[in-house]
Copies of this chain bind each other. A is one copy, B any other.
Amino acid sequence: MNEKLKQELKNKIRIIPNFPKKGVLFQDVTSITDNSDLFKKVIRELSIYAKKNRVSKIAGIEARGFIFGAAVANQCNLPFIPIRKKDKLPGATYKQKYKLEYGEDEVQVHKDAANSKDRILIIDDLIATGGTAKAAAKLINKLKPKEIRFHFIIDLNNLGGFKKIRDEFEACSLIKSTG
């Protein structure tokens, strides 16, 4: 991992306290996309990871995962699979429900988005408790790919989600931080 990029991310990602609710230190990844040079470096780093691991498709989790995932897919000349919220995809879909702090949510993917030959890299900006990432893995697993791996920009490591994902999948994050 690129130590210089890691330090630059730690210096430049703006932290906004009490968003979206009291007690949360929100890591604002628009600090990355606002800065064309930093955005380029992050996409390059994720693309190197994708190529090194012979990934065949990039998936991104709605909505911020689309920003990073689609740019990586384009840079690597790979297809991009959107993992979407409920009722957004028009074709036949697999669905996966998951629990939120209050209530539940659902992610969906097109049934023809990938097959047993694919090695899929799921990209998201941030992993906190890992509920969405775990649901995304269960969902993508329904496509029966050869491999699933994850790459995040930020691991909020005090919330433990990254460790849980790593117990089951190959997973990387560019930086660790406190959520």
The size of the chain A interface, using a CB distance under 8 A, is 42
In contact, B90 and A16 (Cβ under 8 angstroms): yes
Number of copies: 2
Question: How far is A124 from B33 in the complex, measured between Cα atoms in Å?
Answer: 17
A91's contact among B28, B33, B84, by CB below 8 Å, is which?
B28
In contact, A34 and B79 (Cβ under 8 angstroms): yes
In contact, A110 and B30 (Cβ under 8 angstroms): yes
List residues 9-47 of chain A with CB under 8 A from any CB of chain B: 14, 16, 19-20, 26, 28, 30, 33-37, 39-40, 43
In contact, A73 and B26 (Cβ under 8 angstroms): no
Chief secondary structure at chain A's binding surface: mixed
In contact, A91 and B40 (Cβ under 8 angstroms): no
Given A63-B82, A64-B66, A71-B74, 7 extra CB contacts under 8 A = A30-B89, A39-B74, A39-B79, A66-B67, A67-B70, A70-B70, A74-B75
A14 proximity list for chain B (CB < 8 A): 91
A37 proximity list for chain B (CB < 8 A): 77
- Which 9 A-B pairs have CB atoms at the shortest separation, nearest pair first? A71-B74, A66-B66, A33-B80, A19-B90, A16-B90, A67-B70, A63-B63, A26-B90, A36-B79
